[in-house]
């Protein structure tokens, strides 16, 4: 039987192989003295029963090395091997691989002195322990020191491949659950805030100022509609004749009216606006190529004029001024 039984998780085969190479190349342990179930030539021969062979192998080893990684601590089979070593009262060498801690090790095998695999200062003690257990001389110090440097270099690479544990500490779980609960509360608060903002937005939409466009040229009407929309107005309709204007104006009661003077059927935008203003209070901006007709017609008070062809900036400014006048008039009426 082999003198050293290397107990490890299958997921840590790469790390077990590195440790086997270190014992052979640096310490000088003969291959026949090492049993490592996952390595070819060091494990269970073909045709042998795995469970029976493992049971026989762990009966009389001179040293049991426990490669205690996260995967090892999660493996029931590995912990059975720990239990066997404890029952047989063997001298185990716990090799603690972070993030496994010594506190976790002592909870499984008691107060056994172990080796943190990253502690290079204890490599000489590991060497002495192995040689003493096997009763052999091993390699000389020069060989050990040279191979030790290679071990340290290769170990850093292999630790990066370490399989993480799927388990978490209870404290970590509680913290995660508390974080989840806090996030859910925050999400609920955000949802409530969004609902309030949506309600406020709908309320603001209800107070969105409206506009009526009286214009018989479709392209010009579209340009004016785009401008009014950008200024925050809701365009409630576009009329091409006096009759259409009266229907829309009296029914929809706009806050702002932009109107041409000469409409599609020869009717008058001035007459349409004056009739509408007999019923509602609205700001008026005339957009026309015939501004002189305002001199002869019955122009409404506080109306504004933009002459065609016009710049959008000019029209935007006149609409803004007209709406400001309207708000002042309404405020004055409310105070009376």
Quote the domain boundaries for residue 287: 206-335
Q: What is the pLDDT at residue 155?
A: 92
Residues 129 and 222 in one domain: no
Residues 116 and 14 in one domain: yes
Residues 155 and 217 in one domain: no
Residues 156 and 9 in one domain: yes
- Strand ranges, E, within the chain: 4-7, 34-35, 63-68, 92-96, 115-116, 210-214, 234-239, 256-259, 283-288, 304-307
* pLDDT tens figures, 219-230: 999 999 999 999
Residues of the chain under the 70 pLDDT cut: 1, 43-59, 77, 79-90, 107-112, 166-169, 201, 203-206, 297, 336
Residues 214 and 118 in one domain: no
Inter-residue contact 256 to 211 (CB < 8 Å): yes
Residues 222 and 143 in one domain: no
CATH number where 51 lies? 3.40.50.10140
**Whole-angstrom Cα Rg for the chain:** 45
Residues 156 and 13 in one domain: yes
Domain closes at, from 127, 160, 193: 160
* Prediction pTM value: 0.47
Residues 125 and 223 in one domain: no
- Please tell me the total count of domains within the chain: 2
Residues 151 and 32 in one domain: yes
């Amino acid at each position: 039987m082999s003198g050293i039984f290397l107990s490890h998780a299958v997921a840590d085969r790469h790390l077990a192989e590195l440790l086997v190479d270190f014992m052979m190349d640096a310490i000088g342990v003969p291959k026949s003295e090492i049993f490592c179930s996952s390595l070819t030539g060091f494990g269970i021969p073909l045709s042998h029963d795995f469970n029976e062979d493992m049971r026989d192998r762990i009966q009389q080893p001179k040293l049991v090395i426990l490669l205690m990684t996260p995967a090892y601590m999660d493996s029931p089979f590995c912990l059975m091997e720990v239990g066997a070593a404890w029952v047989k009262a063997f001298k185990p060498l716990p090799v603690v691989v972070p993030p496994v801690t010594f506190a976790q090790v002592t909870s499984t095998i008691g107060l056994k002195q172990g080796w943190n695999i990253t502690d290079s200062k204890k490599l000489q003690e590991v060497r002495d322990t192995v040689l003493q257990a096997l009763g052999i001389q091993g390699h000389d110090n020069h060989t050990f020191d040279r191979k030790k440097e290679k071990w340290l270099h290769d170990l850093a690479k292999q630790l990066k491949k370490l399989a993480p544990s799927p388990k978490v500490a209870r404290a970590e779980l509680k913290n995660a659950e508390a974080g989840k609960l806090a996030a859910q509360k925050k999400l609920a608060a955000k949802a409530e805030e969004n609902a309030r903002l949506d309600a406020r937005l709908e309320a603001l939409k209800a107070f969105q100022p409206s506009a009526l466009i009286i214009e018989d040229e479709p392209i010009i009407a579209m340009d004016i509609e785009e401008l009014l929309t950008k200024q925050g107005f809701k365009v409630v309709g576009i009329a091409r004749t006096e009759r259409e204007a009266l229907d829309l104006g009296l029914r929809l009661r706009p806050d702002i009216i932009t109107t041409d003077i000469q409409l599609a059927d020869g009717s008058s935008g001035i007459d349409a606006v004056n009739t509408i203003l007999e019923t509602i209070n609205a700001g008026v901006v005339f957009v026309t190529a015939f501004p002189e007709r305002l001199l002869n017609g019955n122009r409404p008070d506080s109306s504004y004029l933009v002459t065609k062809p016009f710049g959008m900036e000019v029209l935007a400014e006149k609409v803004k001024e007209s709406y400001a006048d309207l708000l002042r008039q309404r405020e004055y009426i409310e105070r009376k």
